[in-house]
Amino acid sequence: MVDDLRSDDGLGGFEGHHHRVSRRSEQERPLADREVPLGQQESDARVLSPLVHAWLDGELPEAVVRKGDTARDVEFWKNINVEVETRRRILTPVFVETKIMNALPQTAPVVISPWWRREFVVRPTHALALAAALVVAASAVTVTLMVTMR
Partner 1 sequence: MGYSVVVKTTEQAPRTDQLIADPENSDQMVIQRVLSGNRDAFKILISRYSDPLYRHALCMTGSPDVAEDILQLSFIKAYQHLAEVRGRFDAWVFRIVANGCKDWLKNIRRSHLSYDEDDQPSAYATPDEELDRTELRSDLDRALATLPASLREAFVMKHVEGRSYEEMADLLGTTVGALKMRVHRAREALQALLEEKYA
Q: Could you list the residues that contact partner 1 (CB under 8 A)?
A: 1, 3-4, 6-7, 9, 11, 33-36, 39, 41-42, 44-48, 53, 56-57, 72-73, 75-77, 79-84, 86-94, 96-97, 99-101, 103-106, 108-112
**10 within 8 A of 39, measured Cβ to Cβ:** no
Nearer to partner 1, 16 or 109 (CB): 109
DSSP string for residues in 49-106 = PHHHHHHHTTSS-HHHHSSTTHHHHHHHHHHHHHHHHHHHT----HHHHHHHHHHS-S
Nearer to partner 1, 3 or 141 (CB): 3
Nearer to partner 1, 107 or 148 (CB): 107
- Burial of 119 from C-beta contacts in 10 A (0-12 / 13-18 / 19+): exposed
What is residue 118's DSSP assignment?
S
Q: How far is the CB of 64 from partner 1 (least distance, A)?
A: 18
Q: How far is the CB of 61 from partner 1 (least distance, A)?
A: 18
Q: How far is the CB of 39 from partner 1 (least distance, A)?
A: 6
Nearer to partner 1, 33 or 119 (CB): 33
Q: Smallest Cα–Cα separation from 50: which of 9, 74, 18, 25?
A: 18
Q: How far is the CB of 141 from partner 1 (least distance, A)?
A: 43
